[in-house]
Structure 1
Amino acid sequence: MGKRVDFSGRGVIVNGPKLKLDECGIPKHMALELFKPFVIRGVMEKGLAPNIKSARRVVTEEGPEVWEILEQVVEGHPVLLNRAPTLWRLGIQAFYPKLVEGDAIRLHLCVTSGFNADFDGDQMAVHVPLSEASQKEAREVMLSTKNLLNPSNGAPLSIPNKIMLFGTYYMTSIDANIAPSDKVFASQEEVLYNLSVTGLLFLRQLVKVKLGDEIIDTTPGRLLFNKIIPENFGFINKDMTKKDINALLSQAFEKEPSEVVVKLIDDIKDLGLRYGTVSGHSVSLTDIEVPIERDRLIAEGKESVAKIDKNYKRGLITKKESQRLVEDVWVDITSRIDEAVWKDLGPSNPVKVLVNSGSTRASRDQVKQIAGMRGLMTDPTGKIVPMPILGNYKNGLSGLEYFVGARGARKGLVDKGLKTADAGYLTRRLVDVSQDIIIRKDDCGTKEGLSVTVGEGTVLQTFAERMAGRFLASSVELGKGKNLPAGELLTKENLAEIEKAGVKEIIIRSPVACETQRGLCAKCYGYDIMTRELVKVGTTVGVQAAQSIGEPGTQLTMRTFHTGGIAGKDITQGLPRVEELVEARTPKTLATMSSIDGTVKIMTAGDDRKIYVIPSNGKKEDTVEYIVDPVAEIVVKDGDVVEKGAKLTSGHLDLSELVSVVGPRLTQRYIIDQIQQVYA
């Protein structure tokens, strides 16, 4: 897979807060070694040495003229940065080098997501493209500013995070402890002058200011933030949380050229870093108090559980029912304690501010565990442990509670160590089978397509998000003499028209219906979600798809969940489920499938359970009988009408059986839906 290369280096990465999005900091001494041939040429061109041997000596002496030549050489010459493991295309990106002091490579704060890197001692390799052709490819395809979107879903990826997000949230929020200004200001400039020069206003103070023809209530911080926003976006007058910044950047990607988006990302980063630092925000243990109602609510929970236990001992309910009722009690008590903890935190509480900003992984659930109660835990197989942890981190856990909670934590760490290799191996096998799926031509000319129900979304996307960027395989009548012809590109605008016109179904061009030999055509594939443009001929879409399934695999849990706590009833999830699907294996938990259209009749005699499907044509002799596995859960009810290929019991369908009953097209759709469910 890999090649050995000259002119490469390796170093620990640290953040480079002053870098632009397409820049990285390379230590001077490392750069001198990496660009040695170019520097030697520069030394000889300047007449500082008569031959290569003398030029080498001049370079080794590292005089001021050598550093001058090095500065000129690295200007505009991209380098490649790579972090192992390279699970997808964003694991290696190009940057323009800036010479820095020290021994560490400096990385822009917004590109860490693509590399899955952090600054706790991670190392990266640097490679220098030597030929003109490789430099051109680095600039046009691999540059970080050309890889801002996630290849697997098209969402913005290289965007501000952590303290940058907190800084923008802080500067755009209102400080309830500062009285609003009683003056009305004539312009933004006047407000900002009173903020920075006279000091009469505070960053987060409510002020009245004339914008255009109206007077609005806003803050100096929001005015500062709006100075970096493109004009056609209008005035943004709200607290900018992580969600809002993501929505703003998504909108920018759709409306603006990439240079504008790149500048916006850098500007948000600079503002966020500045005001995140200015905020002086800190969190202490005293910022979270245990609510007074906690003990009363826990006592209420214990009382309810005692009643359930009494009913079970009297034989009024089964063991399974008693377990479910106990779980319900503790879920309810935990959520009520969570409400109490959250209500106790004031609007300007440092912890609440941090959670609301969305800038860190801090969540309301963690606050609940610190000051409320940890609640119900799961064991390593995903089954709920009937004993909840009533303690919290602030008051401390008992020995038994600690051990109940430790099992889950250990499982997480073990999984992390094991699943990285599994995800890498899965990616490798997927690439192996899909590497020759390349966009071969513009249009294969097929009339075939995939029928899609209008308004039907998936677990991951809405209908409009799924369909935008695809082409119609057959025309769509919109009424009032208006129609969309076959071959029309679907956009969010015309998809809204389709939904408004009440169209039930559309047929779209799809890779599964493409007739191109040894690959796909651009019309059947549609838009490239990484560039938001029609996919170009020559794009290796197969490898891109393989990496998009493999890379997020490292974040999937390898856990097998128990359904309803029935022994031997493991439902495969996560990576093993993806492998099961793409390799068309017989599922570990096989569901019973109806092979005909008809009505369900369920018969139970002791432990024996049978499902009959009476055909829709009314011929009783064609009735099909299915014997149900003793541990399986029936997912249909008596009298239900089912179609062929429908699941009658819990579990997963056998793909070879499914394809023989419903054909390849519906089986392909089942595989796609199942894989998307895993990543939801």
Structure 2
Amino acid sequence: APTLHRLSIQAFEPVLIEGNAIRVHPLVCTAYNADFDGDQMAVHVPLSVEAVMEAKLLMMATHNIFSPSSGKPILTPSQDIVLGSYFLTMNPKTEPKEGQRVPLIGCLEEALSALHVGVLTLHDWIDMKNPDKGNETLFGITKKSVVRTTVGRVLFNTIWPDELGFFNQPALKGDLGNLILETFRNRGKEETIESLDRLKEMGFDMATKAGISIGIFDMIIPPEKKQRIAVARKEIDKVEDQFKKGIITRGERHNKIIDVWTTATDDIAKEVFTCLDENLGKDTINPVYLMMDSGARGNRQQVRQLCGMRGLMAKPSGEIIEQPILASFREGLSVLEYFMSTHGARKGLADTALKTADAGYLTRKLCDVAMDCIIVCDDDDRRDGVVKKAIMEGDNEIVPLRDRIIGRYSTDDINNPSNPIEIVIPSGSLITEEIASNIDALGITRVKVMSPLSSRIKNGLTALEYGTDPSTNSLVKEGSSVGIIAAQSIGEPGTQLTMRTFHIGGIASAGREDPVINVRKAGKLRFKGLRLVTLANDQQVTLNKTGSIQVLDEDDRIVDDYPIPAGALLHFKDSDPVEDEALLAQWDPYNIPILSEKKGVISFEDMLPGVTTKVERDASGGRSMVVIEHKEDLNPQVIVKDSKGNPIATYSVPTGAQVAVDEGTRIDAGSIIAKTPRQASKTQDITGGLPRVAELFEARRPKEGNVGQMAKIDGIVSEAGTLRSKKRLLVTNEESGQVEEHLIPHGKHVLVQPGDFAQKGQLITEGAKDPHEILEILGPSAVQEYLIEEIQKVYRLQGVTINDKHLEVIISRMLFKVRITDPGDTEFFWGDQIDRFAFM
């Protein structure tokens, strides 16, 4: 097996056994990524005294409980052990009836002896004297004097130290990880190791005693399935009908069909889990559900395919096939369905084979760059750092601020916002879990911490810049090779990612955003940068994409900030008070509309049939005019004129947009002039993943046609005709009078409209951001933040956690040189690329 990270080489004390196979402890398999289908391992014997010492002190498996990449326990049990623990602690199928008495037990020993004698079974409810009464523990209940529990849970609690309290719920895979982490925090390494060994023994023992087997009849098909599919088919007929009548475009039809099947699949999946949970009213638990729920084997998606329906598949190109696979594996697939399945499965296998090499190459490049990055000293006298804030996706917080600052050192004093004199944490001190939670509770949203990115030392870092070592949770030691650890932490999941595609077998997971915004916290609204038009029914619609709605608390602090898309219907006015969960805005999920601000009469310009536009006819004779790509120096526009025939507003129509008005018709303010379908969703496969990570680390410019233009200054957008068959947009800063020109090719979708305020670095046209441009316009810290967020996005999609500091170590090596623009009286030349330390 390949050695992908530090934990792929560990030291053990030998245990003499019979037979010719050397046994390996099951808990270290996660670190080695080993399974028992014929994997081989190499054994090295250290001979010299120094080698033995090093193996004992640094490489022993007992010293490597936590992963250096994320700080989570890597000795986490999986499969059999998880299954055994869950079986031991699960809820019995029958709840005791009201007023029914259950055996009253005095202590742990009493329960266990009753079990051995056979008076009680593992899954009998008992009332036990509360061992945690009056003690503050993590999992226990302090107030009650009696706890209702099962004999199995009493047995399970004998594994863990008493300080954690009585754990009284089914133990899932994640819970076991938490228990390990808390044991380590409360009792230290030795006790944790012993608990892990007890857990291993008990897990295997219980998994054996449970005698769980799985048969085809355990995969229960929900009775509502047929009916749900019939409903979906009716909806599809409606969509087809709309398409034939010409109400919707081909792209919309495809998106809607995918949507209908995705929701149908999800509904059937919900039914599946309900059915499995009830298990046809039997008094035993369903083994398929048990394995999935505990986290031992199989995930919700796989179980859905066994019992519900396989759902939508993707072609190798990433496009989603409209015809879903309605059968589940239990019912069996028809020949055609099987053929559609093989599409995705084969692509997965081919991808895996090809990308393993790429992942290895990425690790090699990362090591090359960062190998000389080591911890040189504890601290230098310069205090500089980067600002950390929570990561949002739309209006959901995915990574809270506390997770990003634990284990880092603050650069400045952090003050309490409601009492500025009180210092929460002085500069240069460690942010522990407790302090991080405190910062979160006080509502502080940005914290400046020391970081490898702001390091001023030539080949290395100071310990405070790096912070704590995630695998030991204490300050990193001088001489640690943090560069190599960073490279391994990023490269190791890279190989994992590439190997993960085929598990899903090309199932289309169409990610679609919710077309509504609900308020998370109550407060008062403030509209920021929104251009609105009021409709006849007094509702307001947004015209621009760049505005947002902020929610303020009593002290006028911003609690939330929701970006609002164009064409959103707002349910509140500016400065209205709102409650929790109130519906703030909603919009069409399939199209991006272009709306008219003024009322008047429509006229067209440069809309030439066959040159810039084509008429799409549908089966039933409906027609729609669509703007097509064109070579000529033409700019298709819709012009709104007033009653005297003077133009009062012009709207450029991008390629691929469907024009929704006819020439000469009268329209009201807020009418839709044209709409472009939002991109038909391709499946998010890791193919975006690994190459994307490499592309970001190499700071490659995006492909020619795909670069989005960014505003170079803050200012107001205006149109200025065309130049060399490109559209001219000007951004004018009203304070300084500075003007920047943007030439936009025809057919590029423009994200701003004349009169909008563009912020420096904001995308003006659709496309990918170019890291070089970010550096030029917004400076080094902005490009560093962009790279970290984009790389983390790829790993997060696969559920991989990597600590920011590893990415920061690598990215700090990316901005290592400066180019001389003016040598002055130094000995440099124009255009020389030199080390930034020589320059400083």
Cα gap change, 1:380 to 1:466, in 2 (>3 Å):
same
1:389 CA drift (Å): 1.2
1:668 lines up with 2:784 in the alignment? yes
Q: Which structure 2 segments of 5+ residues have no match?
A: 134-144, 279-284, 511-677, 797-840
How many Å separate the matches in 1 of 2:8 and 2:746?
A: 46
1:108 CA drift (Å): 0.7
* Preserved contact between residue 471 and residue 490 of structure 1 (Cα < 8 Å): yes
1:592 CA drift (Å): 2.5
Once the two structures are superposed, what CA deviation does each residue of 1:610-655 show, in whole Å capped at 9, x if it has no partner?
584634536777153241574x655567766443223344443222
Higher strand share: 2
Once the two structures are superposed, what CA deviation does each residue of 1:91-124 show, in whole Å capped at 9, x if it has no partner?
1111111122222221111111111110100001
Q: Which structure 1 segments of 5+ residues have no match?
A: 1-83
Cα gap change, 1:637 to 1:309, in 2 (>3 Å):
farther
Aligned AA for 2:193? V
Give the SS at the match of 2:325.
coil
Aligned AA for 2:197? D
1:88 CA drift (Å): 1.3
* Residue matched to 1:234: 165
How many Å separate the matches in 2 of 1:259 and 1:154?
A: 18
1:529 CA drift (Å): 0.4
Once the two structures are superposed, what CA deviation does each residue of 1:491-533 show, in whole Å capped at 9, x if it has no partner?
1222233233343433211111122231001011100001111
* Residue matched to 2:566: none
* Residue matched to 1:320: 251
1:643 lines up with 2:562 in the alignment? no
1:624 lines up with 2:745 in the alignment? no
Aligned with residue 353 of structure 1, among 290, 307, 310? 290
1:268 CA drift (Å): 1.1
Q: 1:40-439, aligned counterparts within 5 Å?
A: 84-177=1-94, 182-196=102-116, 198-212=117-131, 214-347=145-278, 348-360=285-297, 362-439=298-375
1:661 CA drift (Å): 1.1
* Preserved contact between residue 454 and residue 503 of structure 1 (Cα < 8 Å): no
* Residue matched to 1:597: 714
* Residue matched to 1:658: 774
Report how many aligned residue pairs link the two structures: 591
* Residue matched to 2:431: 490
Cα gap change, 1:369 to 1:448, in 2 (>3 Å):
same
Aligned AA for 1:190? E
How many Å separate the matches in 1 of 2:726 and 2:189?
A: 61
1:489 CA drift (Å): 0.8
1:329 CA drift (Å): 1.0
Q: 1:524-535, aligned counterparts within 5 Å?
A: 524-535=465-476
* Residue matched to 1:547: 488
1:365 CA drift (Å): 2.0
1:422 CA drift (Å): 1.0
Once the two structures are superposed, what CA deviation does each residue of 1:310-344 show, in whole Å capped at 9, x if it has no partner?
22122111101111111111111111221222222
How many Å separate the matches in 2 of 1:613 and 1:452?
A: 33
1:593 CA drift (Å): 2.1
Aligned AA for 2:104? V
Give the SS at the match of 2:127.
strand
1:575 lines up with 2:575 in the alignment? no
Cα gap change, 1:256 to 1:652, in 2 (>3 Å):
farther
* Preserved contact between residue 729 and residue 743 of structure 2 (Cα < 8 Å): yes
* Residue matched to 1:8: none
* Preserved contact between residue 174 and residue 205 of structure 1 (Cα < 8 Å): no
How many Å separate the matches in 1 of 2:728 and 2:57?
A: 60
Deviates more, 1:206-215 or 1:462-471: 206-215
Give the SS at the match of 1:156.
coil
Once the two structures are superposed, what CA deviation does each residue of 1:137-191 show, in whole Å capped at 9, x if it has no partner?
1111111111221221111111111110111111111322586863312222211
How many Å separate the matches in 1 of 2:493 and 2:51?
A: 29
Higher helix share: 1
Aligned AA for 2:21? A
* Preserved contact between residue 181 and residue 208 of structure 1 (Cα < 8 Å): no
How many Å separate the matches in 2 of 1:341 and 1:425?
A: 42
* Residue matched to 1:505: 446
* Residue matched to 2:666: none
How many Å separate the matches in 2 of 1:465 and 1:540?
A: 24
Give the SS at the match of 2:772.
helix
* Preserved contact between residue 470 and residue 509 of structure 1 (Cα < 8 Å): yes
1:276 CA drift (Å): 0.9
How many Å separate the matches in 1 of 2:686 and 2:81?
A: 40
How many Å separate the matches in 2 of 1:601 and 1:263?
A: 70
Give the SS at the match of 1:204.
coil
Aligned with residue 402 of structure 2, among 446, 453, 464? 464
* Preserved contact between residue 731 and residue 758 of structure 2 (Cα < 8 Å): no
Once the two structures are superposed, what CA deviation does each residue of 1:446-467 show, in whole Å capped at 9, x if it has no partner?
1211123478799874311210
* Preserved contact between residue 390 and residue 400 of structure 2 (Cα < 8 Å): no
Give the SS at the match of 1:518.
coil
* Residue matched to 1:26: none
How many Å separate the matches in 2 of 1:377 and 1:456?
A: 30
How many Å separate the matches in 2 of 1:216 and 1:235?
A: 9
* Residue matched to 1:523: 464
Once the two structures are superposed, what CA deviation does each residue of 1:551-570 show, in whole Å capped at 9, x if it has no partner?
11112249899983489x99
How many Å separate the matches in 1 of 2:12 and 2:46?
A: 11
* Preserved contact between residue 444 and residue 514 of structure 1 (Cα < 8 Å): no
How many Å separate the matches in 1 of 2:68 and 2:246?
A: 57
How many Å separate the matches in 2 of 1:602 and 1:115?
A: 60
* Preserved contact between residue 386 and residue 449 of structure 2 (Cα < 8 Å): yes
Cα gap change, 1:192 to 1:613, in 2 (>3 Å):
farther
1:482 CA drift (Å): 2.7
How big is the alpha-carbon RMSD for the aligned residues of Structure 1 and Structure 2? 2.9
Aligned AA for 2:67? N
1:474 lines up with 2:412 in the alignment? yes
1:292 CA drift (Å): 2.4
How many Å separate the matches in 2 of 1:128 and 1:629?
A: 68
Identical pairs, percent: 39
Give the SS at the match of 1:209.
strand
* Preserved contact between residue 603 and residue 609 of structure 1 (Cα < 8 Å): no
* Residue matched to 1:15: none
1:658 CA drift (Å): 1.8
* Residue matched to 1:73: none
Once the two structures are superposed, what CA deviation does each residue of 1:274-307 show, in whole Å capped at 9, x if it has no partner?
1111111111101123222222221221221122
1:414 CA drift (Å): 0.9
* Preserved contact between residue 402 and residue 439 of structure 2 (Cα < 8 Å): no
* Residue matched to 1:31: none
* Preserved contact between residue 171 and residue 203 of structure 1 (Cα < 8 Å): yes
How many Å separate the matches in 1 of 2:353 and 2:124?
A: 49
Give the SS at the match of 1:208.
strand
Aligned AA for 1:576? P
Give the SS at the match of 1:377.
coil
Aligned AA for 1:154? G
